């Protein structure tokens, strides 16, 4: 099976590191023209420089701050005034860790703006051209914690669950237009985010970060955490014509770590 996304334009959020970067690299390798979207201009330029550049590919960068929703609205609206995309990957950095007793109402509002409002607003803009072209892919980077919440990630658990149920509702509305909407439930991957969480756990538990990593690996049936490149492969498939009958789903990519169905 050869995944060919030539002629397709993709917008990938938080694409200067970790999962977002791996997604952008694989979409570009599959022939798509990619717009990278993140906060650091230097990192955006660095990732752009390593993307595949075959004939017809003209990759772009878009510097945004997902934590400032009002400013984000302006920048993303300006982008869509002059651009359209066939593939939208909704991805942002995660909110701060913490338990239900740690967080205030303001914390929940910030997390909602970061994880939900950016996704819903960006998707609404992207859908216009997708509906006109009768083809589109909306792929949300979510988390396995929407099925099995982790107490120390209450903001992520709560708001990403809202994204997943919103996506399911949206999928029923736009399926007739040749648009699929899917959410990926992310497990443990070798990213800066997981390293930061591991460092916090190590400090709280009085053990080394290596010990925390070993605990995570032991909890995964395949006995390792994921390589972000593997995530990119799944997204490229979902973005292709081969996945045209897959929509409204929540697909775990977690090495079998979820114990629930």
pLDDT along the chain (261 residues), means of 10: 96 97 98 98 98 92 98 98 98 95 97 98 98 98 96 96 98 98 97 89 92 94 97 98 98 96 82
User: Annotated catalytic residue: which of 72, 79, 108, 152?
Assistant: 152
Verify whether residue 245 is a known catalytic residue. no
Token duo for residue 106: 């303001």
DSSP 8-state assignment for residue 148: S
For the residues of 163-214, what is the DSSP string, one character each? HHHHHHHHHHHHGGGTEEEEEEEE--BSSHHHHHHHHHHHHHHTS-HHHHHH
Sign of CA dihedral 143, 65, 167, 21: negative
**Gap between the Cα atoms of 4 and 30, Å rounded:** 5
Helix (H, G, I), strand (E, B) or coil at 157: helix
Contact residues for 205 (Cβ-Cβ < 8 A; gap 6+): 212
Scanning the structure block, which residue is given the tokens 């950095």? Answer: 93
pLDDT of res. 174: 98
How far is Cα 67 from Cα 77, in angstroms, rounded to an integer? 16
Q: Which token pair is 233?
A: 């492969």
* Domain ranges within the chain, ordered by starting residue: 9-187+227-253, 191-225
pLDDT in tens, 53-83: 888 899 999 999 999 999 999 999 999 999 9
Distance CA 217, CA 237 (A): 26
With beta carbons less than 8 A apart as the criterion, state whether 35 and 58 touch. no
Phi and psi at 33, nearest 5°, equal: -90, 125
* Matching residue, tokens 């697909």: 251
pLDDT at 148: 96
Are 39 and 17 contacting, i.e. CB atoms less than 8 angstroms apart? no
CATH match of 9-187+227-253 with 3.40.50.720: yes
């Amino acid at each position: 099976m050869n995944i060919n996304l030539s002629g397709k334009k993709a917008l990938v959020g938080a694409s200067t590191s970790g999962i977002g970067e791996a997604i952008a690299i694989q979409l570009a390798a599959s022939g798509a023209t990619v717009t990278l979207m993140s906060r650091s201009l230097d990192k955006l330029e660095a990732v752009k420089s390593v993307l595949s550049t075959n004939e017809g590919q003209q990759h772009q960068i878009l510097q945004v701050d997902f934590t400032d929703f009002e400013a984000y609205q302006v920048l993303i609206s300006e982008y869509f005034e002059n651009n359209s995309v066939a593939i939208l990957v909704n991805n942002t950095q995660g909110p701060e860790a913490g338990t239900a007793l740690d967080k205030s109402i303001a914390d929940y509002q910030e997390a909602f703006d970061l994880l939900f409002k950016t996704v819903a607003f960006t998707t609404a803009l992207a859908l216009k051209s997708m509906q006109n072209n009768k083809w589109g892919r909306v792929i949300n980077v979510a988390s396995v914690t929407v099925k099995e919440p982790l107490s120390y990630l209450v903001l992520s658990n709560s708001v990403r669950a809202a994204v997943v149920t919103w996506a399911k509702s949206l999928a029923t509305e736009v399926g007739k237009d040749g648009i699929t909407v899917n959410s990926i439930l992310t497990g443990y991957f070798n990213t800066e985010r997981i390293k930061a969480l591991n460092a916090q756990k190590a400090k709280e538990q009085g053990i080394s970060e290596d010990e925390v990593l070993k605990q995570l690996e032991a909890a995964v049936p395949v006995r390792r955490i994921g390589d972000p490149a593997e995530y990119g492969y799944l997204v490229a498939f979902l973005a292709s014509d081969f996945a045209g009958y897959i929509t409204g789903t929540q697909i775990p990519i977690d090495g079998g770590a979820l114990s629930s169905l």
